Amino acid sequence: MPELPEVEVVRRGVRPHVVGRRIVSEAVSGQRLRCFPSRRMLRETLRGRRFEAVERRAKYLLFVMDNGAVLVLHLGMTGRLGIFRADDTIARHDHLRLLLDNGMELRFNDQRRFGSVQLFASAKELNIFFAPLGPEPFSEQFSAPYLAAKGAKKNQPVKNFLMDGRVVTGIGNIYASEILFKAKIDPRTPAARLSPAKWKRIVESCREVLARAIEQGGSSIINFVDLSGNSGYFQNELLVYGRGDEPCAVCGKRVQRIVQAGRSTFFCNKCQR
DNA sequence: CTGTTAACCTGAGTGC
DNA sequence: TGCACTCAGGTTAACA
């Protein structure tokens, strides 16, 4: 589920609940996630530590602790974070619970277990892990010339190119379709065939679509909710995603659904060339 | 190297 | 009520 906007909404929601608080104890489900630190590692690194900051890189949430360690969460497709009272009922798929020094508990729930939990001892270790990642969409480095250079020899469809975290981070299956609709570019176009002007439209559309989605609290397609359990609103503004066979909002022609690299892509073959 | 497929999981929805 | 099947916001190893 969560792409950049949803992860950013979660970050903004969780930050005021944890920064300045100390971790009293940790509890885990024992269920297998994509990555999960050992109980011992969790205890030794986190117990008694205070949260100093909550940051985001790509679709990862970074909890920076006062000992320099960083707890890194990835929400996968169905991951959620919530703040609960310690005596609130534990839900199915609550995989990590961190009891805070104010009696509240930060809980990470992930139904499909595609999410991950990682611990890094320092920012240096973290940087090694993040080294392969491309730039953030809102960074200066992310520009039309950058994309043109990166895509110069790629025959890969531009939609899949944009979803590659080594190219640019945070764009997933929903926003890739929305961004290309806004930029009026056919998602099947090989990256190498895009003109500088089209790359420029892509960069602008990325920023506009993602910024608007953050403003609207993200998109709730199946189960995304923020820290307070509220849905986002951006799903109401999705122009093509999930609208196969519906009329295009701009020209009225039917929106197409195709499959690219195993994922659904939605687009208007009249508006997007 | 490049690009696609399958696999990792659970659960909701559909059609019979 | 049940069964078989499809699909879902991500990532990544394996494959051609």
With tokens 């250079």, the residue in question is A149
Residue A151 C-beta-side C-alpha neighbours within 13 Å: 30
Predicted pLDDT of residue A224? 74
CB of residue A80 closer than 7 A to nucleic acid strand B? no
* Secondary structure class of A70 (helix, strand, coil): strand
- CA–CA gap between residue A268 and residue A105 (Å, rounded): 45
Predicted pLDDT of residue A1? 58
* Secondary structure class of A10 (helix, strand, coil): helix
- CA–CA gap between residue A38 and residue A221 (Å, rounded): 33
The dihedrals phi and psi of A45, each to the nearest 5 degrees, come to: -85, -35
Smallest CA–C1' separation from A262, nucleotide? B5
A21, A22, A56, A263: which one is catalytic?
A: A263
pLDDT digits (tens, 9 = 90+) for A45-104: 999 999 999 999 999 999 999 999 999 999 999 999 999 999 999 999 999 999 999 999
Both tokens of A120, joined, read 């890094």
CB of residue A132 closer than 7 A to nucleic acid strand B? no
Q: How many CB atoms lie within 10 A of CB A163?
A: 21
Q: Please give the single-letter amino acid code of residue A273.
A: R
* Secondary structure class of A166 (helix, strand, coil): coil
Q: Are A245 and A239 in contact (CB under 8 A)?
A: no
Nucleotides of B under 7 A from a protein CB: 2-11
Predicted pLDDT of residue A98? 98
Decide: pTM greater than 0.85. Answer: yes
- CA–CA gap between residue A98 and residue A80 (Å, rounded): 14
pLDDT digits (tens, 9 = 90+) for A104-115: 999 999 999 999
| A180 CA from B3 C1′ (Å) | 20
The per-residue pLDDT string of chain A (273 residues; one tens digit each, 9 = 90 and over) reads: 599 999 999 999 999 999 999 999 999 998 889 999 999 999 999 999 999 999 999 999 999 999 999 999 999 999 999 999 999 999 999 999 999 999 999 999 999 999 999 999 999 999 999 999 999 999 999 999 999 999 999 999 999 999 999 999 999 999 999 999 999 999 999 999 999 999 999 999 999 999 999 999 888 876 677 777 788 888 889 999 999 999 999 999 999 999 999 999 999 999 999
Quick one: DSSP state of residue A194? Answer: -
The dihedrals phi and psi of A203, each to the nearest 5 degrees, come to: -60, -45
Q: Please give the single-letter amino acid code of residue A55.
A: E
